[in-house]
Amino acid sequence: MSGRVGDLGPKQAEALEQFRARIQDILPHLPAQHDHFLLRWLRARNFNVQKSEAMLRKVIEKYLSGGMCGYDREGSPVWYDVIGPMDPKGLFLSASKQDFIKSKIRDCEMLQKECNLQSERLGRNVESITMIYDVEGLGLKHLWKPAIDTYGEILQTFEDNYPEALKRLFVIKAPKLFPVAFNLVRHFLCENTRQKISVLGANWQEVLLKHIDEEELPVIYGGKLTDPDGDPRCRTRISHVGPVPPSYYVRDHVKVDYEHCITVSRGSSQQLDYEILFPGCVLRWQFASEGADIGFGVFLKAKKGEWKKASEMQEVILSQRFNSHLVPEDGSLTCERPGVYVLRFDNTYSIFQAKRISYTVEVLLPDRFQSPQTNDES
């Protein structure tokens, strides 16, 4: 038996029934509740119900980075987020948005409980935490719109339900792309919270040591703390994740609400112009076609409004055909130079069929206000 709907053996059917019963608490929050969806998890673990349940419940825990490790010099818990290796799209193809939000709420509740325990241990009130954002390796994949939107919801939840829970936040190893990323989420933060964020420069280890004793700071961040086995990354406390294996995927795309629709006639193309005034901006797009594939590429020209053939423009991203009628396409581009960037939908190869394209395109600007590169924060 194939283990698919309509082709289940008696033991497979029984396993499906047991699996559904065991996950009733999280079933309403999953991307889908039908048998087709649940059987994907069972087939991935050879219909072992216990392993399938563990796989379903732990994908978020296993592939979300970060963790609590040590205390600052005032006794507050220190939380680390390690952004670079995280795989936002893989996570969203493997779990639901509600899973992310619930996971972060659990983290917040755990940190609040740890503050209470520290208050008892130290005999004085501990009510806020220090956060360290390691953004080394921050890339365009982290600016994927569904992930940014969900992260914004998480920040809003934090602001609304845990007032003054943040003492300070240090951003370390920030690449050139960081101002663009910060600008996408800064509006979710109140001014008081934004004032607690410090983007550190090359002397970030020195600054961290002024706030965290070397015995409480992992070796990889300039301290002396290791795991019992000598691991300088303290991976038993701070998750350093990697790409989510496709075997965990439970869907092939994330539902998107598009802002615009166009029809590309048979044998023709459509061009969308976006003027970039200064380098460092990011062009981000998502699109889907109806009925058949569509060609797509990005070009650069000097003036807005003038129509040019593809051969007359500089090709920035190679034009190729995408099966966006099956799986929506998304992408982004860091614009290294000013000019007019042209997103070109190509249907010149189709002599019979027009294509309807739903799309969203955004120009992401760097944050004009950045926390100062600082040597110390009180």
Q: Which has the minimum average pLDDT: 209-213, 238-242, 247-251?
A: 247-251
Q: How far apart are CA 131 and CA 246, in angstroms?
A: 31
Average pLDDT over the chain, rounded to whole?
90
Res. 368 pLDDT band, cuts 50 70 90: low
Q: Mark 55-89 as b/e (b = at least 16 C-beta within 10 Å).
A: bbbebbeebbbbbbbbbbeeebbbbbbbbbebbbb
Q: Model confidence at 376, in pLDDT bands (50, 70, 90)?
A: very low
DSSP 8-state assignment for residue 84: T
Q: pLDDT at residue 251 above 80?
A: no
Give, in order, the Cα–Cα distances in Å from 64 to each of 45, 54, 83, 85, 236: 22, 16, 9, 10, 14
Q: pLDDT value at position 100?
A: 83
What distance in Å separates the CA atoms of residue 206 and residue 209, rounded to the nearest whole number? Answer: 5
Can you name the residues that pair with 358 across neighbouring β-strands? 261, 288
Tell me how far the alpha carbon of residue 186 is from its chain's centroid.
Answer: 16
Element (H, E) at 106: helix 97-122
Torsion-angle region of 264 (φ positive above 0: left; ψ -120 to 50: alpha; else: beta): beta
Tell me: pLDDT of 23 over 90.
no
**Cα(243)–Cα(249) distance, integer angstroms:** 12
Q: Check residue 253 and give its pLDDT.
A: 82
* Farthest-apart Cα atoms in the chain, separation: 78
Whole-Å CA distances, 350 to 265, 329, 345:
9, 19, 12
Give the phi and the psi of residue 185 in degrees, each rounded to 5. Answer: -120, -10
Could you report the per-residue pLDDT of 141-164, keeping only the tens digit for each? 999 998 998 999 889 888 888 889
Q: Whole-prediction pTM value? A: 0.76
- Residue 315 has φ and ψ, to the nearest 5°, of -80, 115
- Which DSSP state fits 225? B
Average pLDDT over residues 103-127: 93
Return d(Cα 340, Cα 314) in angstroms, integer.
Answer: 11
pLDDT at 373 over 50: no
Q: Can you tell me whether residue 275 is helix, strand or coil?
A: strand
